[in-house]
Structures are given as structure tokens and as C-alpha cells.
Amino acid sequence: MKKTLTGFAAAALLATASPAVMAQQTSDGNYSLQEAIEAAIMSNPEIMQAQYNTEAIQFEREQAQSLYYPTVDIEASAGIRRLENNTRRNLGIADNELYPVEAQGIVDWTAFDFGRRRGEVLRQAARVDGASLRVVERSEFIALQVTRQYLDMLLQQRIVAASEDNRAFHQALVNDLAQGVEQESISVADLQQAEERLQSAIVREEEAKESFAVAQNSLRRLAGLTVYNGTLPADMSSSLPSSREQAIGMARTDNPLVREAQADVDAAHGMIMSAKGEYYPTIGVDFRGRIGDDIDGFSGETNDLQARVYMRWNLADGGLKRARYQEMVHRASQARYALHERTRQAEEDAANAWTALEAQQNIGRALARQSEVTDDLLLSYRSQFDVGRRSLLDVLDAQNTRYNTQVRLETSRFSQLFAQYQVLAATNRLLSSMNIAPGAGAGKNERDRFEYGPSKDAETDYRRYAN
């Protein structure tokens, strides 16, 4: 029995040493969190999609700018024509075919359109800004997801270490109890009970290894890197807002999704400007030149040059322009309420992140104390089992509680650290606090470039309701 208890004590001490073992698991790392995020910013498909969407909309803005310039069209033709009319018959040339050869050019320039082009340029400028903010949002989001998976990988690594220690504890216990059964100092039922717990510990170890591999795979998908080991990221508490209210206020004004929604509102007002311009005429100039032979039914060479100023004004269209204008006004209101929704979501995200941070701080303190108590409890039960005052089941339950507390404590520590990054992401400060630039295409400010002016606080345009 003495030999059995000696081996059991060694197993208990091995379990007691598990925090040091788990710490050693993260001492060597291939990639830091900073490196993983930088790799994700450079290569993640979601960010790349947002970048190319920004560039595509910039070309839409260039298309809108091109409306300010004249258009030049050139046409040339050659063929054969048979023309019969009274004049040609009286001249006796009705049976003569014509072989028209013609070249013409038209230069057309719209000088005044009363806001149509201006509204389209401003709309596209706002859309570019919105797409640019989407790059920022995707960069912050992917950075947060990389952080989540990176921390989860480190957590699962520690859980694997704790699970290995837990299995080793039960394996050593089974070996010692088997000797006790041979010496008839331990019952077979106790050995069976220990073997059952050993199999449970093996299952937990395999589940922990699976979770670790899944976390690695998720991190590879996000960052494009295969991370075998990592280093514990820095504590970000010094970069956090000073209070919950400040975090919510920063999310309300700085969250990229909120700013993108404001850009959508500005784009909608650009559409209103264009629709309002449809009420007015279009004034422009055009220049036309034609040169050819046998054209317009006349034999011989023709030269035709024309320059004019024109006004085009649609006076009746069955209410089409009025309906289009009202559509744009109501679209702007729709975008406005989408902005309100985004703002509330941003406030909620910041508040939830702050709540999680505070909760995990409290949970972590309680679990740290519980871990100390369970360590002492296991040693006490071991001593009492040695003198026959505790059953084997009491010791096994104490070890199970200790293992669960270790896992929960590590989970709480990493959850608390992740909550810090979550607060920073909700306030659009995650990348800046780590000195990482967002993806290419972020930071556009084309509304200032094209003098959009201050955003409207509300839709004050005349509106009516549909019949």
C-alpha cells in the first residue's frame, strides 16, 4: 500500500505542476499576433474584394466626371443609292444611280444641366468614400477575427497541456491501483472506477487536440499562415477608452460601418440633386460638319458646316420626373434610417464588448481563487485518502474539479484579453493601437476633394406620398 500511495502522490504533484507546463507550451512561437494580422491585411480575400470594389467605384466617379466634357462622334459611309422623284424624272436622271460617299463629325457639349452632372459626381464621390470605409471595416473585422483565432489557438494549446497532465494523473493512478489490486490492498471496483476516469481523460485530451487543430485551420484561412506556436499578445488595457460611455461615444462617431452609412446618405442626396435637375432644361452647343459626294440625293461634292446653341426641355412626361424625384427623396430617408440602425448596432457592440471585459475580469478573479482552493483540496483529499478517511471517488472528483477549473480559468484569461481587442475594434482603434495600416484603398476622402460640403442632418426636401 505504501508503494501505491507513493506513486499516487507523484501523479498528484505532476497535476499540480501543470500551470508551468502550460506556460512552457507558449514559450516558443513561429508568428506573433502582429505578424498574423499584417499577413491577413495583405492577403485576406475579403479585404482584397473591398479594395477592388473601391477602385471600381473610382472609375464610376471618373465616368461621372466625363459628363462635363464634350463628346466627339465621327461617322463615315459609302454605298449605292437609287432615287426616283419628280425632279429627277423631269431632269431625265431618274435612272442614274448615286454612289454616296460621306464623312461627318459632331461635337456636342452640354454647358448647363442645372445639377444633373454635379449630383452624379457627388454621388459617386460619396460612394468611393463609403467603399473606402468598407476597406477599413473589413480590415478591422479581419484583424479582430485573426485575434480571436490566434488567442483560441493559444488557449487550446494550454488546454491540450492541461489535458495531457490530467491523463497522466489518471494513468499513474490506474497503474498504482493495479499494483494495489495485485497486493489485495485495493478493491477491483476502485481500479475499475479509476480506469473509467482514465478513458474520460483520454477523450478530453483528444477533443482538446481536435480543437487546437481546428483553431490552426481557422487562423490559416484568415491569415494565410500556418501557425504552429504563438506568443501571448500584449495587454491592451492602456489603449482602451477610459469608460463605457467614452467607448460608446467613440463607436457612435468612429465606427467605419457608421461612417459608411453616412456616406450612403450623402450619395442618396447626390441622387436627389440629379433628379431635381431633370425639372430644368439642358443648354448646350454643338458643331456639325459633313463632307461627301452624291449625298442627300444630289450629285457632286457637298460641304456642310453648322454651329448652334440649343436648349432641350421636356415639358410633359406623365409625371415621370416628379415620381423619380420623390423616389430619390424617399431613398435618402431609407439611407438615413439605415444610418440610425448602424449607429445603434455600433453602440451595442461597444457596450457588449465593455460588459464582457468587466465580466471576465470578475470571473477571472473568482476562478483564480477557486483554482487555488481546488489545488489545496486535492492535496487534502490525497492525505485523507492515505489514512482511509476519504474514498477514491472523492479524490477523483477533486481532480476533475481541478481540471475543469484550470480550463475555465485559462478560458477566462483569454476571454478577458480578447475583450480588450473587441473594445478597440468596436471603436475603430484596433489597427491603430497596433501600428498596423488597413488595406490599400482605405482613407479616401473624395467628398472633400469634390467639395461636397457638410452632410445634411435631415431630409428637408419636399415630399409627397404615393397614390
User: In the structure grid, which three cell numbers stand for residue 429, read together?
Assistant: 482603434
- Tens-place pLDDT, residues 99-126: 889 999 999 999 999 999 999 999 999 9
71-78 sheet: strands from edge to edge: 71-78, 101-112, 282-293, 301-312
Residues 6+ apart with CB under 8 A from 68: 117
* Domain locations in the chain as residue ranges: 2-69+115-280+319-449
User: In the structure grid, which three cell numbers stand for residue 223, read together?
Assistant: 491569415
How far is it, in rounded angstroms, from Cα 325 to Cα 293? 48
Q: Given 3.40.50.720, 1.20.1600.10, 3.40.50.300, 1.10.1040.10, which CATH number is that of 2-69+115-280+319-449?
A: 1.20.1600.10
| Pairing verdict, β 71-78 and 301-312 | unpaired
Which of 1-10, 287-296, 380-389, 418-427 shows the lowest per-residue confidence on average (mean pLDDT)?
1-10
Confidence check: pLDDT of 342 > 90: yes
pTM: 0.82
Tell me what the mean pLDDT of segment 205-225 comes to: 93
Q: At 72, is the pLDDT very low, low, confident or very high (cuts 50, 70, 90)?
A: very high
Residues 6+ apart with CB under 8 A from 213: none
**Residue % of the chain over a pLDDT of 90:** 64
Closest CA to 447 of 313, 317, 262, 244: 262
Q: At 55, is the pLDDT very low, low, confident or very high (cuts 50, 70, 90)?
A: very high
Confidence check: pLDDT of 362 > 90: yes
Q: How many CB atoms lie within 10 A of CB 252?
A: 16
